[in-house]
Structure 1
Amino acid sequence: MEMEPYATIKELTGRLDWTLDDDELRIAGTALVDASDLARGYGRNWPVATVPALVRTLVLRSAARYMRNPDGYVTSRAGDEALTWSDLGAEAGTPYFTRPEKALLARLAGNHRLTSVPATAWQTKARPDDGTVPVAGGGKHFPMFHPEEHQR
């Protein structure tokens, strides 16, 4: 089931500097659908009626990039002038989001990445045989298990 795009062809044509023919209009429609699906994948499934304006802008950027270079050319030469795009790899010839755009979509969706890091107790010493470690400032020792005790 195809989802409705987050932007319209009229909004997209406003970002392009030429008038689209019938084939280009058809391609523009599919580019908007593809870019919107990618936005849902990198972000979340926002309702079309309430999609954040920035998500709509990113979808339009992606579709406009594609419409300007639908074949995914990396280099274009005309006489002694050359135009080079970045290495797109598998994204060449498709609507795509840049790395910063993907990160922005994730932030807009509230998809923050969590990272785990190893941690150790501050100013601890080797634990004595009773399975506890000293506590800063004195007082009762705190239980600290040895990693081998948890292996089964």
Structure 2
Amino acid sequence: MAYAALDELKGRLDWELDEDEIRIAGGALQDASDLASAYGRDWPEDTAPRLVKTLVLKSAARYMRNPNGYTQSRAGDETLAWSDAHGRDAGSVYFTREEIRLLEELAGRRLGLTSAPITAWGTKLRPGRATVPVDYGGDPFPFFADEASPW
């Protein structure tokens, strides 16, 4: 399942693809779609947000333009250079940090801090006063400081 079609990718590239490049482009679209599902969520193909398709096409086109991940190339002394900017992703289909953040937001994943209310098992809340059970068999421990201000 790919979130974008091969013809859409061809429209983003400025050259005609040969047979090998068509095969590679199909794989790039599939890889980018798999990454989009991993970073976002597994959207059904026909209901995926348009931005997911855009990001998949962007990633696949980036790969097709530079499949080896070169950052510098010279013909005179045959110098080739790769960048560590993308680390293990250089020369493969990848999403940038900003693209990953967009996919996470589209999937409803919000990064950051959150709080969760926690109460002990067996806690009995009464108006103005609550207690927490204790392991040593003694009287329950007061949950709030006093009745005037529960915190």
Tell me, yes or no, whether TM beats 0.5: yes
Give the aligned residue type for 1:13: K
Letter aligned with residue 90 of structure 1: R
Matched length: 122
Match of 1:102 in 2: 100
Preserved CA contact (<8 Å) 2:36 2:56: yes
Alignment of 1:24 with 2:21, yes or no, is yes
- Following TM superposition, by how much is the alpha carbon of 1:94 offset from its aligned partner in structure 2, in angstroms? 0.8
**In 2, Cα distance between the equivalents of 1:83 and 1:131?**
64
> Does 2:55 match 1:47?
no
User: For structure 2, which runs of at least 5 residues remain unmatched after alignment?
Assistant: 116-141
What is the aligned-residue identity percentage? 54
Equivalents in 1 of 2:14, 2:26: separation in Å?
Answer: 17
Structure 1 segment 1-152 matched on structure 2, within 5 A: 4-77=1-74, 87-116=85-114, 133=145, 140-142=148-150
Structure 1 residue 132, shift from structure 2 partner: 5.7
More strand by share: 2
After superposition, the C-alpha distances for 1:18-46 in whole angstroms (9 at most, x for unaligned) are 00000000000000000000000000000
3-state SS of the aligned residue for 2:2? coil
Deviation at 1:84, TM superposition (A): 8.3
In 2, distance between residues paired with 1:86 and 1:9? 29
RMSD: 2.5
